[in-house]
Structure 1
């Protein structure tokens, strides 16, 4: 898997899991599914940061996002 794609998938999955986590906590039920998706997102982000030489800077993320989006659309 490309490190750029792993970074973007990790960010998107992590972003989508936050509402699920908040919903589970507000309903007082265990957030099992959202915890699993957060772990998957964390793993993808960790892979992307360690596999790319030099890692990523915060100002590179929008460019990487739109380059991956352009590559697959």
Structure 2
């Protein structure tokens, strides 16, 4: 797995877990699964940053999404 793919998966999981956390809190339930997914997302993002020698800047993230979509489309 490339660092770009790991980063994109981590960001997508993190974005999808936020509405789940909000929904669980509004229903007065503990957001157990959503919290675990958010932690996993953070771990994937940190792993991707450590795996790429130069790391990621904020301006590199959209390019990572484009590279991953290009890999999938090929």
Offset from partner CA, 1:5-45 (integer Å, 9 cap, x none): 00000000000000000000111110001001001101100
1:41 corresponds in structure 2 to 41
Gaps of 5+ in 2: none
1:19 corresponds in structure 2 to 19
Would you say how many aligned residue pairs link Structure 1 and Structure 2?
73
RMSD: 0.7
Gaps of 5+ in 1: none
TM superposition outliers: structure 1 runs of 4+ over 6 Å: none
Q: State how far apart, in whole Å, the 1-side matches of 2:63 and 2:54 are.
A: 16
1:5 corresponds in structure 2 to 5
Instruction: Please give the secondary structure, in 2, of the residue aligned with 1:54.
Output: coil
Alpha-carbon distance, 1:64 to partner:
0.9
TM-score for the superposition, normalised by structure 1: 0.96
Offset from partner CA, 1:32-61 (integer Å, 9 cap, x none): 010010011011001001111120011111
